[in-house]
Amino acid sequence: MTRIDAKFAELRGQGKKAFVSYVMAGDPDYATSLEVVKGLPGAGVDIIELGLPFTDPMADGPTIQAAGQRALEAGMTLQKTLDLATEFRKTDDTTPIVLMGYYNPIYNRGVDTFLTDAKAAGIDGLIVVDLPPEEDDELCIPAQAAGLNFIRLATPTTDDKRLPKVLQNTSGFVYYVSITGITGAAEAQATDVAPEVARIKAKTDLPVIVGFGVRTPDTARAIAGAADGTVVGSAIVSQIAAGKPPAEVLAFVKSLADGAHSA
Q: Of these residues, 5, 49, 196, 228, which one is catalytic?
A: 49
Q: Of these residues, 60, 124, 136, 228, which one is catalytic?
A: 60
Per the CB < 8 A criterion, the answer to whether 150 and 139 are in contact is: yes
For the question of residue 187 being annotated catalytic, the response is no
148 residue type, one letter:
L
| Edge-to-edge strand list for the sheet holding 47-51 | 149-150, 125-128, 97-101, 47-51, 18-24, 229-232, 208-211, 174-177, 152-154
Residue 125: CA count within 13 A, CB half-sphere: 27
Distance CA(227)–CA(124), nearest Å, equals: 22
Per the CB < 8 A criterion, the answer to whether 230 and 212 are in contact is: no
Task: Collect all residues with Cβ–Cβ distance below 8 Å to 13 and sequence separation of at least 6.
Answer: none
Which helix (DSSP H) or strand (DSSP E) does residue 47 occupy?
A: strand 47-51
Distance CA(236)–CA(166), nearest Å, equals: 28
Distance CA(28)–CA(75), nearest Å, equals: 10
Q: Is 101 helix (H, G, I), strand (E, B) or coil?
A: strand
For the question of residue 192 being annotated catalytic, the response is no
Task: Give catalytic residues, as residue numbers.
Answer: 49, 60
